[in-house]
Amino acid sequence: MVSSIKDIFNQLLIRSKTGLRMTFWVRSVMFDFVWYKEKAKIPPSGYLKEQVLEKENQRILLCIPHPDDEVLGCYFFLQHEAYRQKIELLYVTKGNRCATAKNYTDIAEKRMHESRNALTGLPLEAIYQWDLDDGSLKEEKAAVRDRIERHVATMNYDIILSTASEDLTPDHAALGHMIQDITPREGVKKLFYRSTWSTFGIEEADYIYTGDYRTKKRAVKSFITQSHIPLLNPILFSALECRLAHGIFQPVEIFIDSDHYTGKSRCNRKNMLHWKQAKTAL
Ligand SMILES: [Zn+2]
Comparing 260 with 11, the larger pLDDT belongs to 260
Q: What is the model's pLDDT at position 22?
A: 85
Going along the chain, which residue ranges are E strands?
59-64, 86-93, 126-132, 159-163, 189-193, 197-198, 207-210, 252-257, 270-271
Predicted confidence (pLDDT) per residue in 237-269, tens digit: 999 989 888 889 999 999 999 999 988 876 667
Kindly indicate the confidence band of residue 145, based on its pLDDT and cuts at 50, 70 and 90: very high
Q: What is the model's pLDDT at position 100?
A: 75
Distance 36 CA to ligand 1 centre (A): 28
Predicted confidence (pLDDT) per residue in 74-110, tens digit: 999 999 999 999 999 999 998 888 777 777 888 889 9
Distance 169 CA to ligand 1 centre (A): 7
pTM above 0.85, yes or no: yes
Distance 208 CA to ligand 1 centre (A): 21
Q: What is the model's pLDDT at position 197?
A: 94
Distance 43 CA to ligand 1 centre (A): 34
What string of H, E and C letters represents the secondary structure of 227-273?
A: CCCCCCHHHHHHHHHHHHHHCCCCCEEEEEECCCCCCCCCCCCEECC
Q: What is the model's pLDDT at position 5?
A: 78
Distance 172 CA to ligand 1 centre (A): 6
**Complete domains list, the chain, with CATH:** 59-214+253-267 (3.40.50.10320)
Distance 206 CA to ligand 1 centre (A): 22
Distance 40 CA to ligand 1 centre (A): 32
Distance 227 CA to ligand 1 centre (A): 14
